[in-house]
Amino acid sequence: MFSLQQDIQTHTTYSDGQNTIVEMIEVAIKTGLKSIIISDHARGWVTKDKDYFDFFQTISEYEKYLDELRQAKLLYKDKIKVLSGLEVEIGIDGEMKLSDGIKEYVARYKPDRFGVDILLGSIHSESFEEDCLKEENTSLVDRRVVLIKNMCNLIRNNKIDVFAHPFQALHGQFSDNLTFEEIKQILSTFKSEWASGHTILFEINGKKYPNYEQWSYNKYEKGEMQTNDLDFLQQYKKIGGKFVLGSDAHSTDGLQETDFSVLNELSFIDDDLYLFYGK
């Protein structure tokens, strides 16, 4: 058995979350977590309804985010370990997609890792769709090949610490699991990165689906925890891969509705987890 000690993916009102940083931390303490990573989105996207979400449009907004996280670390240091983070969308060729405010912050201060502790790399179905539209004559079959390329290039981006909700784009685009050959290709990429000294980790999400509204438009009904490829997770574990656990909570309710029952099928123990306590 394992014990949930750290939630590595949470969102606040600085991006598309419903609660403030303080509200999220207060509930995390009540749930018994020892550590929480606030990981708001580094850039927005166009939704299926053609609405555009944009975050950190100005440098002052991003600086406010970093300042509030620094204050929270001090305020709650005796109750919970608070780490700062960003969830960064990764393009097909491995490029990092950043808002104008973060770009300006980087240009002005040249900080290490955008000024945060942990960087999560993700591929949302919407963002992948945008990238594919830029490519001419990309058929559905080609898209599958392109998506696997995108996933491998995310793993190769040596600034990224965590591959966040890794199955989201796959299920959103294809309602499918990884094939044997795709598993082999992705695991080979992980092994190469680990050998180079890049500690890139695989996130397992825990949510009570389908009550999570952000996922309701995807082609699968029961959610990532029900449809992800357990064979891949088992193979990843077999080659020595470590996991991190994230609720991907966008509200305080989300923090309290976390379900990691899939781990029972993996015979999970605490040693299989990587904890960012030392950051």
Which one is predicted more confidently, 53 or 179? Answer: 179
**% pLDDT > 90, the chain:** 59
- Report yes or no on 279 lying in a domain: no
**pLDDT score, position 172:** 72
Six-digit token pair at 232? 């891949």
- Report yes or no on 278 lying in a domain: no
Could you tell me the pTM of the whole model?
A: 0.91
pLDDT in tens, 5-21: 899 999 999 999 999 99
- Report yes or no on 214 lying in a domain: yes
pLDDT in tens, 214-259: 443 344 445 455 556 778 888 999 999 999 999 889 999 888 877 7
CATH number of the domain within which 149 lies: 3.20.20.140
pLDDT in tens, 46-100: 666 666 678 999 999 999 999 999 999 999 999 999 999 999 999 999 999 999 9
* Residue 171's pLDDT band (cuts 50, 70, 90): confident
- Report yes or no on 277 lying in a domain: no
Residue type, 46: V
**pLDDT score, position 229:** 75
Nearest to 56 by CA among 19, 103, 11: 103
Domain total in the chain: 1
- Report yes or no on 1 lying in a domain: no
Compute the distance between CA of residue 130 and CA of residue 234 in angstroms, rounded to an integer: 32
Domain that holds residue 171: 6-272
Give residues with Cβ within 8 angstroms of 35, minimum separation 6.
5, 6, 7, 80, 81, 82, 83, 275, 276, 277
Compute the distance between CA of residue 188 and CA of residue 194 in angstroms, rounded to an integer: 10
- Report yes or no on 268 lying in a domain: yes
- Report yes or no on 10 lying in a domain: yes
C-alpha 65 chain-centroid distance: 18
- Report yes or no on 14 lying in a domain: yes
